[in-house]
Structure 1
Amino acid sequence: MTRSEITETLTGLFRDIFYDDDLVLHDEMTANDVEAWTSLTHINLILAVEEAFEIKIRSNEIEKLTNVKALIDLLESKLG
């Protein structure tokens, strides 16, 4: 799966989780950039990512997800 395909899939997940059809992902995006991003939506997002990409994200990996780029990088490494 290419980085572009990962980003496209993530965009759909983010839009669904945060109920924002206009949400556009960018590498430096963090929870602070999305008004609806709470601890509960964060958990829902991780679960949705795991299901969509058929992977498991360990807790120590979640701790390192400081922005969208880090999430995409992690997905690339797991899917590559």
Structure 2
Amino acid sequence: MRTDIPTSTLLEMQRRMTRIRRFEERAAKMVKRGLIPGAVHTSIGQEAQVVGACMALDDDDYMTGNHRSHGHPIGKGSSSAR
């Protein structure tokens, strides 16, 4: 196991995982209330793999998702609207 990851990086990873979880919980509630038509397929419980993969990317690397990928932009560090 790697032990040389700076505390600031670990805290950022935790922050991104939490933001993904909160975003997806809110999206699911909005679908349930009829505020978003259709369905939302969340990746709740998979935030760590999203953040881990995205943190390994450089700022100018491209990424794409095809299913349960709402959290990928957040995992890469984008801001979310409030």
TM value normalised by structure 1: 0.36
Higher Cα radius of gyration = 2
Structure of higher RCO (CA pairs closer than 8 Å, 6+ residues apart) = 1
- When the two structures are superposed, what TM-score results if normalisation uses the length of structure 2? 0.35
| Structure with greater helix percent | 1
